[in-house]
Homo-oligomer: A and B are copies of this chain.
């Protein structure tokens, strides 16, 4: 009962990271705010870091994860593609399943 088991999972393609917890948080924030800069602010990370993360996600994904537009109405913005939304959903599901799985496994330590 007194121990907690924790995990971090991430998905790589080649040697780039496609998705991890930070990247998924960012994608969710983009979906909520419609803009990369607003998403960065809401997560309290610098715009640059957010941009680098998003760039790396789009570069290692098979299909575009976001559509980014520069200039125009409101200066531009970013929004998730359907593919991006389903990636986020799948990652969350895997993560939740992993936690549940590990919680069961932890018993092997508790009973020692």
Contacts and interface: CB of A to CB of B under 8 A. Distances in A.
Contacts of A105: 94, 97-98
A109 B8 contact: no
Interface residues of A, number: 31
Prevailing SS type, chain A contact patch: mixed
Interface stretch (A40-48, A50-58, A72-80, A84-92): A84-92
Interface string A1-22: 0111111111111100011000
Residue with the greatest number of chain B CB neighbours at <10 A, chosen from A5, A14, A18, A97: A5
A84 B106 CA distance: 16
A90 to B, nearest CB: 5
